[in-house]
Amino acid sequence: MKWFAPAKINLSLRVLGRRADGFHEIETLMVPLSLADELEVDWQSPAPAHSASAAIELECNDPSLPAGPENLAYRAAEIFRRDVAPDLAPVRISLTKRIPHGAGLGGGSSDAAAVLLALNELAQNRVSVMRLATLAAELGSDVPFFLAGGAAVCRGRGEIVQPVSFGAQLPLLLLKPPFPVPTPWAYKQWRDSKPLPGVRYEPQAFAWGEMVNDLERPVFEKYLMLAELKSWLLDQPEVAGALLSGSGSTVLAVLRTVTDDRTPLADRAMRQFGDLWTLSCDTAATERPA
């Protein structure tokens, strides 16, 4: 069974305050992208002897990622077996990564959601999507969003998901330097962070809403290159808007037209900033099983 796990961007992210449980109250508009990881989830064949260690097998094309409980896809399978289907036959997960990790694009969370959906289908839809959302929230704040299958406003710590209509197809260029930004660190620094002079943090208005990200303030304080990258993008003629996605380290550029050739912009960015991962993609509906 093949599943696609889309990346996401945060087109707006407001941090409303710290909660008693240590998380932060947020309100964010998240939209899935055409960029996606690919997972194949099925029974192991031949099936090994039933044991805790043999119950889940995960292989990944990226050797830098863990293939055990440190991987969210693996943990999703563990939690599903523990709470929903302890009788489930041993499963095999093959993960083809295309979404960079530590990028603010939700790759690990999306993989986890895809595993929950796939295993529930293999278990003949044993539980409702609402029950899956409870398991997803245990895995991480972004995981419930990827069960919704489209754009959504997420509140609470991110686990309260309200699907919304988002008819705009946004042409994007994603740009990521060769370092991650730890999400817990970014939230921890948010309260005491200060804006950098000359950096444009104010909301950027579009027909569909506003682009703004409260985590830019702490992230830009430490990672000046990301502030410079956003400012540079906003000065480029092809770019209608630019924003840090989530806690980064990806900065997204919204192009003025769908037909814009994004290659010259990517080439100029790499000449200006050196080693960058860049990708042309668009906002898109989540793909479901092939």
The whole-angstrom separation of Cα 190 and Cα 209 is: 24
Q: What digits encode the pLDDT tens for the residues 127-137? A: 998 999 999 99
Answer whether residue 51 shows pLDDT above 70.
Answer: no
**Taking residues 198-206, what's their average pLDDT?**
96
Q: Which helix (H) or strand (E) holds 204?
A: strand 204-206
Give the model's pLDDT for residue 49: 52
Answer whether residue 210 shows pLDDT above 50.
Answer: yes
Answer whether residue 264 shows pLDDT above 90.
Answer: yes
Answer whether residue 101 shows pLDDT above 50.
Answer: yes
Q: Where are the domains of the chain?
A: 2-163, 171-282
Give the Cβ contact number of residue 5 at 10 Å: 30
**Fold observed for domain 171-282:** Alpha-Beta Plaits (3.30.70)
The whole-angstrom separation of Cα 243 and Cα 247 is: 11
Map residue 254 onto helix, strand or coil.
Answer: strand
Give the model's pLDDT for residue 22: 85
pTM exceeds cut of 0.75: yes
Q: Which residues are catalytic?
A: 8, 142
The whole-angstrom separation of Cα 71 and Cα 58 is: 9
Answer whether residue 289 shows pLDDT above 70.
Answer: no
Domain 2-163 in this protein, CATH class: alpha beta
